[in-house]
Amino acid sequence: MTHRRLLSIVLALLAAPVWSETPRAPTPSAKPHHLDEATARRHILVTLPQKPSRRLLSAGSTPRGYGAKAGYKTSARVKRMVGRLAKAYGLRTVDEWPIKALDVHCVVFELPGDRSIAEILALLARDPRVESAQQMGLFRVLAQRYDDPYFGLQHGIQSMQIEQAHLWARGEGVEIAVIDTGVDLTHPELEERIVDAEDFVDERSPSFTGDIHGTAVAGVIASTANNGIGIIGVAPAAKVLALKACWPQQNRSVAALCSSFTLAKAISFAILQRPDIVNHSLAGPPDALLSRLLSRASELGIIVISAADPAAPEGPGLRLNAPGDEILTTMPFGAYDFLSGSSLAAAHVSGLVALLLEHDRELSADQILAILRDTGGTSAQGVNGCLALARVRGSGSCPGPALAARRENSGPPRLRPASSGRGSAAVQGKIPSPW
């Protein structure tokens, strides 16, 4: 199979503000960990060379900090090295995790308040024992919740002509890793779609199924069709890996934070699972470790679709449009609501890419980019699933704009004024990653 180069689709909303061998997720712990920003900004990530070993049977970490379990088997040499580095530079070991995909051991160190992060990083960069050193990054999910729940038409599904596209593909056999907050695993739209769920933040605490953002993103991508309730997903036959790397900032909040460390754990797990697509609707600072991991994912043919802050610079000629305003989607505890934000635009694109891959597993990232651009992605109407599938099939026709518009305006009345529902998208197909 031809390796698909990394497809990093960076989506920014126009109409609304942004809101061992196979390591397993840690077992439950009594103390889930939630970082506050001030503490996280005193953390650094250090990687040490870790050659493959038969003793590395499972992934985990110390019970401190990020919530992974203790007891993974790593070499005594690496353990001694972690302790010596902490002592030499006056650091406190917070957490650690073996990243099998890169053959490194990743350690989170905390600096005392009187130490300069820049100074410590410069010293570590010259230390021959250290493979890499960087400051911990924090990332935010991109969504905004509307407080008045109601049921209505899925204008994003209609504008993309997904119903017509489903005549040819529904995402069958395609697996999508959603790296986000937790997901309501028992939601009637999602319980048959999720094939695995791993928690890299809270160690599968009860809060996992109550998280809003990840539930909403998964619902846009893969909600079950023809089950007599709720909504349909863009790829209703696709399978989802729900990988929690972000935690809500407050109880029942859409806003959430993720760190370089939790994201690295989730991405490295996804690499080992080899899904077809990785969706992470996040925005944050440049991050060397995450860039390396996503580059490794692209080498393995995994397509990565990322949302970014609308204020982020976008390359000329690489903009796409996707639905992102007032999107009806799944909420925890079997509910539904409307959300807006770049996150939902990214989810629509991930679902559409799943439809394309069902029909042709050999599609490269460049081919997908060309298809999305040429079938409305750069127009005011936005990406069109029916036209994209027809292009891949080499045959088939789609209803004209007039018919599509009539269908979008049919159905029960809206409880809010209708909006265009568009988000802008900048496609960075030749850039290693959004970080």
Strand partners, 239: 175
Using CA of residue 324, residue 329, residue 198, residue 303, what is the dihedral sign? negative
Q: Could you tell me the CATH number of the domain that includes residue 310?
A: 3.40.50.200
- The domain containing residue 74 runs over which residues? 42-135
Question: Pick from 386, 318, 369: which is nearest to 160 by CA?
Answer: 386
Q: Is pLDDT at 18 greater than 60 in this prediction? A: no
Burial 10-37 (b: 16+ CB within 10 A, else e): bbbbeebebbbeebebbeebeebbebee
Supply the mean pLDDT for the chain.
78
pLDDT score recorded for residue 373 = 86
Domain boundary among 110, 135, 160: 135
Give the whole-angstrom CA distance, residue 395 versus residue 397.
7
Tell me whether residue 101 is in a domain. yes
Q: How many other CB atoms sit within 10 Å of the CB of residue 127?
A: 13
Tell me whether residue 433 is in a domain. no
Give the whole-angstrom CA distance, residue 136 versus residue 117.
10
Pairing of strands 277-283, 104-110: unpaired
Give the whole-angstrom CA distance, residue 320 versus residue 377.
5
Using CA of residue 146, residue 282, residue 157, residue 239, what is the dihedral sign? negative
Tell me whether residue 36 is in a domain. no
Same domain, 195 and 103: no
Tell me whether residue 37 is in a domain. no
> pLDDT digit string (tens) for 96-121?
999 989 999 999 999 988 889 999 99
Mean pLDDT for the stretch of residues 284-302: 91
Give the whole-angstrom CA distance, residue 11 versus residue 322.
8
Phi/psi for 129 (5° steps) reads: -80, -15
Contacts of 37 (CB under 8 A, 6+ apart): 138, 257
> pLDDT digit string (tens) for 318-351?
567 789 888 999 999 999 998 998 889 989 999 9
**Number of compact structural domains in the chain:** 2
Same domain, 62 and 100: yes
pLDDT score recorded for residue 87 = 95
Q: Is pLDDT at 425 greater than 70 in this prediction? A: no
Secondary structure (3-state) at 268: helix
> pLDDT digit string (tens) for 245-267?
999 888 778 889 999 999 999 99
Tell me whether residue 262 is in a domain. yes
pLDDT score recorded for residue 3 = 42
Mean pLDDT for the stretch of residues 157-182: 93
Q: What angle do CA 390, 172, 266 make, to 5 degrees?
A: 115
Q: Is pLDDT at 32 greater than 80 in this prediction? A: no
Domain boundary among 135, 165, 193: 135
Tell me whether residue 434 is in a domain. no
